[in-house]
Amino acid sequence: MNRLFFRFFVLVMLSITVATFVIYFVISRLFGDPLDEIARRQAAAQIFLIEQYVDKAPADQWLVRLNKVREVSGINVELIPLDAARGALPPAQHAALARGEVVLDIAHKAFYRRVDLSGNDYVGSAEDVIWARDLPIDIGLALKMEAVRYVIVALALLIPIALWSRSHWMGLQQLSRVADAVGAGELTARAMLKPSASIYPLAERINHMAVRIEGLLEAQRNLLHSVSHELRTPIARLEFALELLRGAAANPALDTRIDAMEGDVAELNGLVTELLGMSQLDSRKALKLDTFALAPALQDCIAALPPNACTLRAELAPDLGELAADRRLLARAIGNLLRNAQKYCEREVTLSARRGAQIEIMVDDDGPGIPEQERERVFEPFYRLDRSRDRATGGFGLGLSIACKAVALHGGTIRVGESPLGGARFVISLPA
């Protein structure tokens, strides 16, 4: 957001700068160089003496009056040949000099003007030029005055723009906070702007969108809760009926069949439990934050795993320190990753962790790995790779999704890549 308004103000400043040069160029083309006009005003007294005092003298008094101008004005006035004046001036000013006009040399604080065009003032005067030097021309001061003028104009434009932009910026900041809150699961967040605000219509649309999202997710959550709780009753009845059937039956073949049916019921019960767990991870309100030592918590995750043929190793950095998080929820996410690694490992599973700018917790296995094109989809609910569709290892396709949601609630990320062991590596990154 700050970058947006910084670019806006840079664009405004550039526009004002460009406008300044355009104005200068247009005025120069239409009315002449403004700097030349400023210098001409500063040298107006000396030009006046030449034009109104010296030029009005009779022919025999012209040189006398020119000498008096030298005495009273304090400037150096010389007569030089016309060719010398042309050599000192750029070609663009030769025509004005030839017409008898006053030609300014701003850089050297001087001006040139032909004595006359007809040679009436004295013999050869048509070929002489008046060269006046050390004129009181100060273009630096004039440029400062022009700069101050443009600064005042720029401030007069920027202050209203800044006030107008500030109201927009504050409103957009509030919309940004609402969007972040809704994205974090706080579905009751709303943008509270005055109806007079210029972005009020946008805020109203965002609020309507948030209300709609809240309604849809609440309906989905209620449906999931209702279905899950309703499923528990017939599942409990089936478990009770199977127990009665096992007690009444004395047929070993029937016992085998009952065992299979009890496995199906247990699977359904596990699925309902997972669905209820998923429904609780839609908001940060589900978090119960606590500060705990990270290394012992990771050791507990390993201890809670069921026995498995794979070797489970822990490689924990000694400086892991403490972490402020929901210990139970984070342990569940790590446990899901470890159990997933146990399903597909050949001989070894490794749990490692390190602390830097972020806390990274890694789970590696030496199994078949996950194809690169499938690595984003494995975190989708109920998504399972082809090799895991059998009932022995497939699960429900919810474990990785639950882990991803649990980590996201803590402000972290989870990604999957290739492990140094040859299989898959899951990396949990949490704010340190």
Q: Using CA of residue 33, residue 38, residue 41, residue 47, what is the dihedral sign?
A: negative
Q: Which of 136-150, 181-195, 267-281, 347-361 has the least mean pLDDT?
A: 267-281
pLDDT reading at 190 higher than 70: yes
Comparison of pLDDT for 41 and 198, the residue scoring more: 41
CB 134 within 8 A of CB 109: yes
Residue pLDDT, tens place only, 402-416? 888 888 888 889 999
Split at pLDDT 50, 70, 90, the class of 158 is confident
Convert the pLDDT of each residue in 75-87 to its tens digit.
888 899 999 999 9
> What is 287-431's CATH number?
3.30.565.10
In the chain, % of residues over pLDDT 70: 85
pLDDT digits (tens, 9 = 90+) for 241-286: 777 777 666 666 666 777 777 777 776 776 666 666 666 665 556 6
As annotated, the residues of the chain forming the CATH 1.10.287.130 domain(s) are: 200-279
Q: Which CATH number fits domain 200-279: 2.60.40.10, 1.10.287.130, 3.30.200.20, 3.30.465.10?
A: 1.10.287.130
List the beta bridge partners of residue 103: 112
394 or 331, greater pLDDT? 331
The CATH 3.30.565.10 domain(s) of the chain lie at: 287-431
**233 or 318, which is more confident?**
318
Lowest mean pLDDT segment, chosen from 48-62, 164-178, 200-214, 391-405: 391-405
User: What average pLDDT is seen over the chain?
Assistant: 81
Contacts of residue 270, defined as CB under 8 A and 6 or more positions apart, other chains included, come to 396
Supply the pTM of this predicted model.
0.48
In the predicted model, is pLDDT for residue 309 greater than 80? no
Report the chain's C-alpha Rg in angstroms. 44
Helix axes of 327-344 and 294-303: crossing angle, nearest 10 degrees: 50
